[in-house]
A and B are shown apart, each in its own frame.
Chain A
């Protein structure tokens, strides 16, 4: 029994750099067994680093034949190795799930022996959960690059989400730190699963009880700050993957140095680029939900995001001609481009203005970031403004008056010696 605690310690520790925590997007229902994967997902707790815990995120084993410089489990590292048995993973998952600790299982693995051998083990676990334990909770399963299509296809019948990590945003970066890997071995299985999802969907349109196949879709992850890609390069890759493989999510994981003595990577003790990571996620959201095109936010001329302001505000400051937007007449797409107004507030504004012209005091109460939005919008009682705003001045004013949660963190990731 103590041995399983040690295994859990090693294999949870090795899995934690995979940031995907989503438990949403599935629609698996409970039919006489236990559990369901509800559409909205639930975060059952949060670790002290502020990240959500919704899944039991573990590696089957941290034995690995590869030697990727950025990975804590690379085979040249002198770390404790462990491997769960199939029964152990099933028992942990079921007992945690029954106590409402988790939404489900996130199962990944180091590559031992070869891809098929590893994939086959993962498949055995998810099958046992679904068929023997009659478990209908969420399962996020790693697709092992290089595994045979038959195995991947079978696994997809039991998993809710599958993912393969790009690891480094560009092929060149990957070659540098993980010469045994390439992006093609990620693209191929992503494309295969995506095509299979589509095939199952069109089959379901004709035959209703077609089984579900990866109902919560696919995701991937890129490590940020390990190699010198620009934000533009990173987001271009993300944008392309969203379009070509219908990914549900691209995760950006600020690199936490785990291995010493690599001349290629940041040293141990370097702070992970948390602010940059956050700005990339904000950009990701603007692309997916706010109808921005990538070239509006990042392009070859403007290839790094501002760290001190969010990308929507940055775009607004570069495009003064778009503003002010009149909240009483503008359409939804224009209103969500106002910095400080989100989609929910925009919907409320549209509904509320049917009852009469909206004034500033009403906007303030709606829950928007008024301090930011005020410079970019017009309400019915906003005084008329002559000429254009001085955007440089405006930026410093907004930065000064807003309470950013990052004030305590040095924006450059580097502490100053004298301050």
Chain B
């Protein structure tokens, strides 16, 4: 089997499709260089990312299955799940080889797995819309830290830009060490340097907080407590909707 080693970006992934058709290697599979381990039995090839080629693949895909389904593949890519990426790759190859309706064949293992992954990514995207908690700094920046299961920041950018159009904000993915920053005009990808990150992480006060910020956090905690109906207590359901791994950054779950 041939293994395509690409740079881990979506464009790199799409270049593997291009390569596959150029070389007519129908059974080749892509592996991100960060996950790649050489194998004795496979032949491998480094795929160089070429933006023009990637866009040709995207255009071709859009013509075959439309815009929204094309973007579904980007969402699946953001799951960072190697199994889902492999399944998506096989579907893309099948699509370009003329099987345009394959995406509806939910009886097929790859189609189902990709659909389920898509669902998971969408759920995580939705959770990040819900669970981001901004703190306000003394210079008016609303900032939040998150650790989503999947790399979903690209999927919530426009949502936050539309909603919080009149405030500066920063949402930072601590796990993947990058964030999105909005300056009331555009959204940019930013990376905090290690020293700044340490400061953020250890003591949040190193971003000077707006003096009333603690006050509103306190009010929110009070509200969270008061709106609960003790007689209906149902911790299992609570945990199902707000899994423990998200508590770290939720104001209302802090003591």
B134 at the binding interface (Cβ < 8 Å):
yes
- Do residues B133 and A30 form an inter-chain contact, with CB atoms below 8 A? no
B55 to chain A minimum Cβ distance, whole angstroms, is 30
A123 to chain B minimum Cβ distance, whole angstroms, is 23
B65 at the binding interface (Cβ < 8 Å):
no
B228 proximity list for chain A (CB < 8 A): 16, 47-49
- Do residues B236 and A5 form an inter-chain contact, with CB atoms below 8 A? no
Q: Which of B220, B229, B233 is the one whose CB lies under 8 Å from A96?
A: B220
- Do residues B219 and A352 form an inter-chain contact, with CB atoms below 8 A? no
Give Cα A24 to B197, complex, Å: 37
B142 proximity list for chain A (CB < 8 A): 98-99
- Do residues A30 and B162 form an inter-chain contact, with CB atoms below 8 A? yes
A366 proximity list for chain B (CB < 8 A): 106, 112
Most interface-central of A5, A32, A33 (chain B CB within 10 A): A5
A95 at the binding interface (Cβ < 8 Å):
yes
B116's nearest neighbour on chain A, judged by CB, is A367
Proximity bits, A1-31, B CB within 8 Å = 1, else 0: 1001100110011011100000000000110
Give Cα A51 to B236, complex, Å: 11
- Do residues B238 and A5 form an inter-chain contact, with CB atoms below 8 A? no
- Do residues A35 and B223 form an inter-chain contact, with CB atoms below 8 A? no
- Do residues A51 and B232 form an inter-chain contact, with CB atoms below 8 A? yes
Give Cα A42 to B126, complex, Å: 8
A95's nearest neighbour on chain B, judged by CB, is B216
B26 at the binding interface (Cβ < 8 Å):
no
- Do residues B134 and A99 form an inter-chain contact, with CB atoms below 8 A? yes
- Do residues B107 and A50 form an inter-chain contact, with CB atoms below 8 A? no
Q: Which of B129, B164, B224, B252 is the one whose CB lies under 8 Å from A98?
A: B164
Q: Which of B109, B224, B232 is the one whose CB lies under 8 Å from A53?
A: B224
- Do residues B165 and A33 form an inter-chain contact, with CB atoms below 8 A? yes
A367 proximity list for chain B (CB < 8 A): 116
A92 proximity list for chain B (CB < 8 A): 219
Proximity bits, A36-50, B CB within 8 Å = 1, else 0: 101000111111111
B213's nearest neighbour on chain A, judged by CB, is A99
Most interface-central of A49, A56, A134, A365 (chain B CB within 10 A): A49
B206 at the binding interface (Cβ < 8 Å):
no
Q: How many A-B residue pairs have CB under 8 A?
A: 160
B108 at the binding interface (Cβ < 8 Å):
yes
- Do residues B226 and A48 form an inter-chain contact, with CB atoms below 8 A? no
B229's nearest neighbour on chain A, judged by CB, is A49
- Do residues B216 and A47 form an inter-chain contact, with CB atoms below 8 A? no
Q: Which of B226, B229, B240 is the one whose CB lies under 8 Å from A51?
A: B229
- Do residues A9 and B165 form an inter-chain contact, with CB atoms below 8 A? no
Number of B residues with CB within 8 Å of any CB on chain A: 57
A269 to chain B minimum Cβ distance, whole angstroms, is 9
A50's nearest neighbour on chain B, judged by CB, is B237
Q: Which of B107, B126, B144, B222 is the one whose CB lies under 8 Å from A100?
A: B144
B104's nearest neighbour on chain A, judged by CB, is A351
- Do residues A49 and B107 form an inter-chain contact, with CB atoms below 8 A? no
Q: Which of A204-212, A302-310, A318-326, A353-361 contacts B (4 or more CB under 8 A)?
A: A353-361
Q: Which of A33, A45, A348 is the one whose CB lies under 8 Å from B166?
A: A33
A53 proximity list for chain B (CB < 8 A): 224, 227
- A98 in contact with B134 given A16-B229, A30-B163, A92-B219 (CB within 8 Å): yes
Most interface-central of B116, B126, B130, B235 (chain A CB within 10 A): B130
Enumerate B93-117 residues with CB–CB distance to A below 8 Å.
101, 104-109, 112, 115-116
- Do residues A49 and B166 form an inter-chain contact, with CB atoms below 8 A? no
A101 at the binding interface (Cβ < 8 Å):
yes
A403 at the binding interface (Cβ < 8 Å):
no
A54's nearest neighbour on chain B, judged by CB, is B130
B38 at the binding interface (Cβ < 8 Å):
no
B11 proximity list for chain A (CB < 8 A): none
A33's nearest neighbour on chain B, judged by CB, is B166
A272 at the binding interface (Cβ < 8 Å):
yes
Give Cα A17 to B215, complex, Å: 26
B254 at the binding interface (Cβ < 8 Å):
no
- Do residues B235 and A44 form an inter-chain contact, with CB atoms below 8 A? no
- A355 in contact with B222 given A44-B131, A53-B227, A256-B232 (CB within 8 Å): no
Q: Which of B126, B131, B227 is the one whose CB lies under 8 Å from A57?
A: B227
- Do residues A49 and B234 form an inter-chain contact, with CB atoms below 8 A? yes
Q: Which of B107, B134, B236 is the one whose CB lies under 8 Å from A356?
A: B107
B242 proximity list for chain A (CB < 8 A): 45-46
Give Cα A1 to B222, complex, Å: 13
Proximity bits, A141-184, B CB within 8 Å = 1, else 0: 00000000000000000000000000000000000000000000
A282 to chain B minimum Cβ distance, whole angstroms, is 16
Show the binding face of A for B, using Cβ within 8 Å.
Answer: 1, 4-5, 8-9, 12-13, 15-17, 29-30, 32-36, 38, 42-53, 56-57, 92, 95-96, 98-101, 134, 254, 256, 271-272, 274, 348-349, 351-356, 358, 362, 365-367, 405
Among all A-B residue pairs, the 9 with the closest Cβ atoms: A50-B237, A50-B234, A352-B106, A49-B232, A12-B226, A47-B228, A351-B104, A46-B241, A355-B105
Known interface pairs A8-B219, A49-B237; 11 further A-B residue pairs with C-beta atoms within 8 A, sorted by A's residue number: A9-B222, A33-B165, A36-B163, A45-B242, A45-B250, A47-B229, A50-B237, A96-B220, A98-B134, A256-B229, A256-B231
Can you identify 25 A-B contacts, CB atoms within 8 angstroms? Answer: A8-B222, A12-B223, A12-B227, A16-B227, A34-B167, A35-B164, A36-B162, A44-B130, A45-B130, A45-B224, A45-B250, A49-B229, A49-B232, A50-B235, A50-B240, A57-B227, A96-B216, A99-B251, A100-B132, A101-B220, A254-B232, A351-B105, A353-B107, A362-B106, A367-B116
